[in-house]
């Protein structure tokens, strides 16, 4: 067992060296920080600091950079300076690492007599710190155990390159001596943002209130203090080949433009005030608040192939709305999750479902599938399937739509999987062929009633 646990305490006696003294200073060494955060968890950090340099080569240390910094992306710009060499010390100071680095070195053990409180110190050489601490004390070898007795280990100095904070050291060549304003820029993962939406739907009014929240997540190992923060909505390529998941809730893509700031093909969402993005923290900031946007509740059922269902199947409950400027939310929506609520008979908002959306341009028609309907169901039946030749089949389908609600509903019934040359030779209700392999019917169903829809498909392979 490591001697750094339990009653075995650790003390560091600093023999004042410049790097050690700098690391021991509490507080943050960052300057004026600006952070640009992308949806993919990648961020650009720009840190403006004042550098005191002498003419010629200078070794400058930048503590409080991201512990996940991508060193190959570092740039340092300032009048009259140029980078010669840079190193990133990411081996952070912990009790275990301090003991690991002390192997082969002398330390001081201070033992306290639990009965008298008298302390006794002796010098020891650390022989090993692999699964336990092995020490040489004079002519004897001792294993430092976690046996409940108070023992402190005192170290003479910090090992080289072991830092209390992530530190970037840069060697620069300066043309003149003095104080130089410089900007340190770099990319870092583990600092990202997501969008979340809360929608309150009012069925009686046919309207929806929606609020958008930005959730910032920082696991870089570093806090960014009082930072100017800019969010970028889009999917910039960072060299990876990750799987992109689409939500499929956009019925038609919008064609409207707004005056929101752009960066190439991305939209920018600057936070109005500076904010501190603490390490190991999630922070939420509001960016959208719309009242009374038109919305309606509908039902949808999709039959994936020309087959029967043994039992009635629930339709999907769907909220439909628009992001258009006129009669909609009037904004672009960054990818995220929309959580929908409705008020119950007591007036309290209750959760009714959620779904993800992709990056959505303004003017788009949206369908938010929130869950399965309790009272509106569809049962599909193959009435007949007749072979007309080696590569031709005629299938007659029946779709029975039932409604146990006290009001009339309209159900979108879709038949998918019409692959090959599939013709509809007969249908009891006129449908719309929305694609080569899909047809849709708007089926009205009276309160506490049912409607039968029939269609005949002539399939040729």
CA dihedral 332→337→339→340, nearest 10 degrees, is 50
Q: What is the pLDDT of residue 16?
A: 31
Query: Do 372 and 314 meet the contact criterion of CB atoms below 8 Å apart?
Result: yes
Q: What is the pLDDT of residue 261?
A: 72
Element (H, E) at 392: strand 392-403
Query: Do 182 and 172 meet the contact criterion of CB atoms below 8 Å apart?
Result: no
Q: What is the pLDDT of residue 170?
A: 87
* Chain mean position to CA 55: 45
Query: Do 372 and 315 meet the contact criterion of CB atoms below 8 Å apart?
Result: yes
* Nearest-angstrom CA–CA distance, 86 and 74: 9
Per-residue pLDDT of the chain (461 residues; tens, 9 = 90+): 344 433 333 443 333 333 333 333 345 789 999 999 998 888 999 999 999 999 999 988 888 889 888 988 999 999 999 888 887 755 556 677 778 878 888 989 888 888 888 888 989 999 988 878 888 998 899 888 766 667 888 888 877 666 666 778 889 999 999 999 999 999 999 999 999 999 999 999 999 999 999 999 999 989 999 999 999 987 676 554 333 333 446 766 776 766 767 777 788 888 888 999 999 989 888 888 999 999 999 999 999 999 999 999 999 999 999 999 988 898 889 989 999 999 999 999 999 999 999 888 999 999 999 999 999 999 999 999 999 988 899 999 999 999 999 999 999 999 999 988 999 999 999 999 999 999 999 999 999 999 999 999 999 98
Q: DSSP secondary structure string, 46-80?
A: EEEEEEEE-SEEEEEEEES--TT--GGG-EEE-TT
Q: What is the pLDDT of residue 382?
A: 96
Which has the closest alpha carbon to 316: 399, 377, 405? 377
Q: What is the pLDDT of residue 6?
A: 34
Query: Do 340 and 318 meet the contact criterion of CB atoms below 8 Å apart?
Result: no
Q: What is the pLDDT of residue 162?
A: 62
Check if CATH label 2.60.40 holds for domain 31-92+163-188: yes
Q: What is the chain's percent helix, strand, coil content, to nearest 5?
A: 5, 60, 40
Element (H, E) at 259: none
* 265: phi then psi, degrees, rounded to nearest 5: -100, 15
Q: What is the pLDDT of residue 263?
A: 75
């Amino acid at each position: 067992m490591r001697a750094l646990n339990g009653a075995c305490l650790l003390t560091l006696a600093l023999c004042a060296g410049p790097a050690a003294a700098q690391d021991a200073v509490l507080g943050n060494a960052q300057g004026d920080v600006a952070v640009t955060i992308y949806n993919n968890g990648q961020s650009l950090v720009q840190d403006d600091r004042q550098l005191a340099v002498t003419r010629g080569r200078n070794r400058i240390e930048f503590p409080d950079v991201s512990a996940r910094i991508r060193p190959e992306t570092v740039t340092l710009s300032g009048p009259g300076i140029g980078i010669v060499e840079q190193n990133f010390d990411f081996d952070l100071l912990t009790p275990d690492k301090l003991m690991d680095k002390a192997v082969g070195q002398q330390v001081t053990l201070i033992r306290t007599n639990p009965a008298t409180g008298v302390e006794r110190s002796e010098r020891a050489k650390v022989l090993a710190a692999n699964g336990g601490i092995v020490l040489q004390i004079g002519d004897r070898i001792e294993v430092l155990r976690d046996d409940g007795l108070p023992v402190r280990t005192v170290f003479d100095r910090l090992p080289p390159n072991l830092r209390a904070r992530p530190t970037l050291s840069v060697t620069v060549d300066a043309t003149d001596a003095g104080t130089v304003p410089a900007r340190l820029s770099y990319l870092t993962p583990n600092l990202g943002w997501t969008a979340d939406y809360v929608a309150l739907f009012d069925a009686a009014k046919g309207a929806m209130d929606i609020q958008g929240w930005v959730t910032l997540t920082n696991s870089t190992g570093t806090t960014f203090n009082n930072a100017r923060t800019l969010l970028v909505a889009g999917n910039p390529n960072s060299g990876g080949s990750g799987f992109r998941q689409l939500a499929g809730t956009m019925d038609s893509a919008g064609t409207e433009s707004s005056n929101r700031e752009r960066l190439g093909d991305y939209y920018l969402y600057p936070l109005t005030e500076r904010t501190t993005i603490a390490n190991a923290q999630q922070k939420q900031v509001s960016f959208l608040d719309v009242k009374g946007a038109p919305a309606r509740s509908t039902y949808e059922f999709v039959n994936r192939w020309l087959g029967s269902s043994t039992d009635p199947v629930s339709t999907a409950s769907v909220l439909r709305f628009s992001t258009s400027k006129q009669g909609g939310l009037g904004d672009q929506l960054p990818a995220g999750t929309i959580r929908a609520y409705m008020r119950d008979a007591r007036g309290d908002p209750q959760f009714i479902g959620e779904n993800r959306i992709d990056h959505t341009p303004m003017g788009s028609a949206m369908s938010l599938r929130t869950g399965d309907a309790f009272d509106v169901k569809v049962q599909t039946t193959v009435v007949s399937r007749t072979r007309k030749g080696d590569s031709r089949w005629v299938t007659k389908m029946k779709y029975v739509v039932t409604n146990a609600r006290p009001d009339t509903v309209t159900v979108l019934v879709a038949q998918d999987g019409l692959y090959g040359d599939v013709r509809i030779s007969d249908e009891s209700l006129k449908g719309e062929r929305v694609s080569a392999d899909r047809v849709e019917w708007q089926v009205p169903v009276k309160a506490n009633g049912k409607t039968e829809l029939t269609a005949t498909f002539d399939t040729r392979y």
